[in-house]
A and B are shown apart, each in its own frame.
Chain A
Amino acid sequence: GENVEQHPSTLSVQEGDSAVIKCTYSDSASNYFPWYKQELGKRPQLIIDIRSNVGEKKDQRIAVTLNKTAKHFSLHITETQPEDSAVYFCAASISWKSTFGDGTTLTVKP
């Protein structure tokens, strides 16, 4: 089955710096790659997603890149703010099934 590896497991940055989280997947049939943000005590919520026919997608301060050949995708957050502090999960999806990475705890220090 699909295997998703996510790195790093923890990331600490200063406010205003950029943060990058990377994920690799194993099944080349995966065609949908969402990123979820989970604030402390809250449910995961989608922040950005990308499909396999697109290489990059941007939404204000967040962007996702996808390299299908290398089977990896990354989340980029620019100009980080304290409210970006949360756990971030990547996922790789085939049909109905999403396989999640283990999560990255991002801490943005003011």
Chain B
Amino acid sequence: DVKVTQSSRYLVKRTGEKVFLECVQDMDHENMFWYRQDPGLGLRLIYFSYDVKMKEKGDIPEGYSVSREKKERFSLILESASTNQTSMYLCASNTRVHEQYFGPGTRLTVT
């Protein structure tokens, strides 16, 4: 079974803090994704990585950065958290053009 895990299920941070969300997959997938999920807005792509140290901006990259130093790990960084970044964050991975396997999600609240 493919397993995608995320470092936290729930996170509460203060405005201006630097926030790290980590994602790990165990299936040697080359592609990894970070999405943001808000009610009524579906899944919006923040960043994508297709290989170690490679990244591409998604549809809503502003205010976020990413890091992929190892194939199995993809980190999302909020340099200075703001209240409008309160959301559910989902990580996913896949290989080539195939189904994406999602992590359990991190519900981030910025106060």
Contacts and interface: CB of A to CB of B under 8 A. Distances in A.
B97 A1 contact: no
A74 to B, nearest CB: 17
Interface residues of B, number: 20
Interface residue SS majority, chain B: loop
A102 B42 CA distance: 4
A102 B40 contact: yes
B4 to A, nearest CB: 8
A31 B98 CA distance: 11
A43 B104 contact: yes
Interface stretch (A56-64, A65-73, A76-84, A90-98): A90-98
Interface of B: 31, 40-45, 48, 50, 58-59, 90, 97-100, 102-105
A69 B96 CA distance: 25
Interface residues of A, number: 24
A108 to B, nearest CB: 20
Interface in A41-66: 42-46, 49
Interface string A30-46: 01101010000011111
